[in-house]
A and B are shown apart, each in its own frame.
Chain A
Amino acid sequence: MNKEEFLSALDRALGGLPPEERQNAMQYYEDYLEDAGEGHEAEAIAGLGSPEAVAQAILNDYRDLAPHGGGASGASGAPQEPRPIKRGISPWLLLVIVLLAIPVGVPLAAGLGGALIGVLAAVFAVLVCLFLIPLILCIVGMAVLFAGCGALFTAPASAVLAIGGALVCLSLGVLSALLLIKLCMLFIPPVVRGVVSLCRKPFEKRRGRP
């Protein structure tokens, strides 16, 4: 690589610099190679290394120094300005995403809502059944007991059978009622507490923010 080749490669590699900086650097290296003299030219070029590495050192130094340089390098602000554009999504892109989401999102939300309502209804039905079982057992037991008592003298054998069945029915009803009460005592307080805290959460969050 001779002097001309070195200098033109360096000039190309310094393309990112403002014209004044670039010219200063070019003059320095032109001077340097001139002053090295014809005889030492090759040696001086070898000593400098590749034009790209030389340019990189200048560019690095320029970047380090530019923020402190102040008014002397007015052009230095220019390469940094386009950066903030990359932040966030453009509002048009956001609009397109929202519009595309509607045909998928609305049925999905409706489906989820329907499923939730179904689950709640099933839970409610199961709870109603749980309450009805002891009630019905007790009512049926009582009715059969009275009927059995009334028929005790007209048809004693059938009446005793009916009374026995009614007592079994009543005892099952009382047992299941006791079991239900026990279950209610076990489950209702934590469920109520959970629901209350769930309802309170949005308000607490809002209160938490000053």
Chain B
Amino acid sequence: MATFGFGTSLLDALVLSVVSRTGKEGAYGYKITQDLRRVIDISETTLYPVLRRLLKDGCLTSYNQECAGRNRRYYRLTALGDEQLSRYQIEWRDYRDRVQNVLFGGLENE
């Protein structure tokens, strides 16, 4: 799989969408990493700072839930996170179309 540059916003967008897919219950760190690694080749180390930033920005919220005798931290999308994700989706679609127009000479999008 060829890799293209991964900016912060694209990583944020992917994390938001992976978390949003887990719904009300939310997702835990290891699972988010595994889901992301199916798509992009990020190191395991990269995720925590991204989660932390999204928490600080108010796009995610976290809570602890008991699981197999210990507390596990879950991450959930906030309303703001949901909005941000929709914005990222629109922006990505626009970006993708423009890239494709150049790469495939406009054939794909007519």
Residues of A within 8 A of B (CB): 24-25, 27-29, 31-32, 34-36, 44, 47-49, 53-54, 57-58, 60-61, 65, 69, 72
Partner of B28 from the list A24, A31, A47, A53 (CB cut-off 8 Å) is A31
Partner of A48 from the list B44, B53, B73 (CB cut-off 8 Å) is B44
B33, CB-defined interface residue at 8 Å? yes
Give Cα A49 to B43, complex, Å: 9
Whether A47 and B56, one on each chain, are in contact in the complex, defined by CB atoms closer than 8 angstroms, is no
Task: Give the interface residue-count category, chain B.
Answer: 10 to 19
Q: Looking at chain A's contact residues, is the secondary structure mostly helix, strand, loop, or mixed?
A: helix
Residues of B within 8 A of A (CB): 28-31, 33, 43-46, 48-49, 51-53, 56, 70-73
Give Cα A62 to B45, complex, Å: 14
Whether B30 and A32, one on each chain, are in contact in the complex, defined by CB atoms closer than 8 angstroms, is yes
Whether B48 and A58, one on each chain, are in contact in the complex, defined by CB atoms closer than 8 angstroms, is yes
Known: A35-B31, A36-B30. A28 touches B56 (CB 8 A): no
Whether B72 and A31, one on each chain, are in contact in the complex, defined by CB atoms closer than 8 angstroms, is yes
With a cutoff of 8 Å between Cβ atoms, the chain A residues found around residue B48 in the complex are: 25, 28-29, 54, 57-58
Partner of B29 from the list A28, A47, A54, A58 (CB cut-off 8 Å) is A28
With a cutoff of 8 Å between Cβ atoms, the chain A residues found around residue B45 in the complex are: 48-49, 53-54, 57
Whether A61 and B72, one on each chain, are in contact in the complex, defined by CB atoms closer than 8 angstroms, is no
Q: How far is the CB of A76 from chain B (nearest CB, A)?
A: 12
Whether B46 and A57, one on each chain, are in contact in the complex, defined by CB atoms closer than 8 angstroms, is yes
